Amino acid sequence: MNISINELKELMANKLTQAGLKREDAGVVADVLAHADARGIFSHGAMRTEYYAERIAKGGITVNPDVQFKQTGPGTAVLDADNGVGHVAAKDAMTRAIEMARENGTAVVGIRRMSHSGAMSYFVQQAAEAGMIGISMCQSDPMVVPFGGAEPYFGTNPIAFAAPGEGDDKIIFDMATSIQAWGKILHARSKGETIPDTWAVDKDGVPTTDPFKVTGLLPIAGPKGYGLMMMVDILSGVLLGLPFGKHVSSMYHDMTAGRELGQLHIVIDPGAFTSTDLFRANISGMMKELNEVKPAPGFDQVLYPGQNTTLQEKESLKNGVEIVDEILDYLRSDVVHHNQYDHKDPFAK
């Protein structure tokens, strides 16, 4: 069913408030989820609402966290989120990182002991809208088989990047270091669709097209993606004194306990390195030149990284988004959650 972005935000915020989250925080979470749906990243949008509602209702997300922010150097800081809602912690940390980068040229802010924070493109977009370069990365629970391995060790461990061009121009992209994010498998399940045989493997380590047989995801570009996901885990986990690799908490194991996750924001003020006007002009120039590259057979146009989701967002803001009926029925119901995630096998049906 098609629904406007504003109506979707209101429904999600209402449900999260019903689960026990403060209205202001629920609004932030709803904004991040709607951002994902608008960009066509449905795996990180409305379909996640019930999961958050169940974890909030069962105490696995601290609704009144004792957030501690400590600046450890001119351009470094750590925000301890006390297992509060991840979207709020990540937005807060990015806001602080932007302020620090304005003063010092660069900023690196780590977030420790947070819950899942959704689509990271939202947070790097904050930086780009402030005229800054934004980089963000976070660890996640083990679902990806290492190159040459037959059982998961690292998470999908995503990386997001954004840079401002002239006017409203922005390059924004957000990618998992697995070939595909686990949420995409969930989306395929919800739609009753098959998946490419390059995304994941079954219990025997054999590539599968059946999303219900998946027991491990595959890293992008084999050993190269494997190296990137290790880097992300080190920078957003080990660096912050948090559990790493196979020790990272499961998304579903115990909905009454905090996730203890880590995330790292890096913000760079272009003006600390070059003329800001020149930087932004060159970013816009790069975007334009990439669009003008001769397309290969089977392609209408070359897009710059993230352009497809940016175009989708503009369309969604104008015409609304298509949300699975089952999800909308839940959002419009009086049910807080259906108790379907606690101690669930992450690869289960």
DSSP letter (8 states) at residue 293: S
Q: Which of 221, 120, 233 is nearest to 179 (CA)?
A: 221
**Residue 170 β-bridge partners:** 164
Does 44 qualify as catalytic in the annotation? no
Do 219 and 147 meet the contact criterion of CB atoms below 8 Å apart?
yes
Q: Report helix angle 5-19 to 325-332, nearest 10.
A: 50
Q: What DSSP line would sit under 58-81, residue for residue? A: TTSSBSS---EEEEEETTEEEEE-
How far is C-alpha 216 from the geometric centre of its chain's CA atoms?
19
Classify residue 182 as left (phi > 0), alpha (psi -120 to 50) or beta.
alpha
The residue ranges of DSSP E strands in 227-343, in sequence order, are 261-268, 321-322
**Annotated catalytic residue: which of 87, 116, 187, 265?**
116
Quick one: DSSP state of residue 136? E
The residue among 74, 83, 123 whose CA lies nearest residue 264 is 123
CA distances from 210 to 148, 237, 330 (A): 22, 32, 26
Q: How far is CA 169 from CA 41, 49, 131, 252, 262, in A?
A: 20, 31, 11, 39, 30
Q: Which residues pair with 78 in a beta bridge?
A: 70, 110
Contact yes or no for 48/102 (Cβ under 8 A): no
The residues assigned a catalytic role are: 116
